[in-house]
Amino acid sequence: MLLTLIQKQGIMKAKTMLHLGKDCLGLKKHHHPIDLLAELNALFSGISLFPQLFKVLETHHLSDLAPSSFLIVFITNIIWHAYGWHRKNLPTLVASVLMIISSGFILGLILFWK
């Protein structure tokens, strides 16, 4: 499928990996201002736990963190990711992947460093 897509598009035509991924996966891109806001929101939502992750990695201080909170974030974002795939919605996919990575990593640190 990917090879067919590349052949159809022409090898000489420059496409970013993101555009190629959108074409292969059938992700939809809308051009309404609210869609741009949603994309920015997805990015900010997705990186929201990374400052906490960096702080934990720096200080190794985990006693104030509730594992149940990060487990809930992890599980709900797996569900959001499945929904993003179902709806072919890139902002939902981006936010959910970033949240799965950060919450999963923090949860792993809580479980293994305590």
For 47, the 3-state DSSP assignment is coil
pLDDT in tens, 10-56: 554 445 545 555 566 666 677 888 888 988 999 999 999 999 999 99
Range among 6-10, 11-15, 59-63 rated most confident:
59-63
For the whole model, what pTM was predicted?
Answer: 0.72
78 vs 12: which has the higher pLDDT: 78
Given a contact cutoff of 8 angstroms between Cβ atoms, the answer to whether 53 and 86 are in contact is no
Token representation of residue 29: 């891109």
DSSP string, 5-62: HHHHH-TTS---HHHHHHHHHT-B---SHHHHHHHHHHHHHHTTTHHHHHHHHHH---
Query: What pLDDT shows up at residue 22?
Result: 59
Token representation of residue 73: 């974030």
**Helix H or strand E encompassing 113:** helix 90-113
Query: What pLDDT shows up at residue 21?
Result: 53
77 vs 29: which has the higher pLDDT: 77
Query: What is the distance between the alpha carbons of residues 12 and 2, in angstroms, rounded to a whole number?
Result: 15
Query: What pLDDT shows up at residue 48?
Result: 95
Q: Which CATH class is domain 31-113?
A: mainly alpha
Looking at the chain, which residues constitute the CATH 1.20.1280.290 domain(s)?
A: 31-113
Query: What is the distance between the alpha carbons of residues 70 and 62, in angstroms, rounded to a whole number?
Result: 12
69 vs 31: which has the higher pLDDT: 69
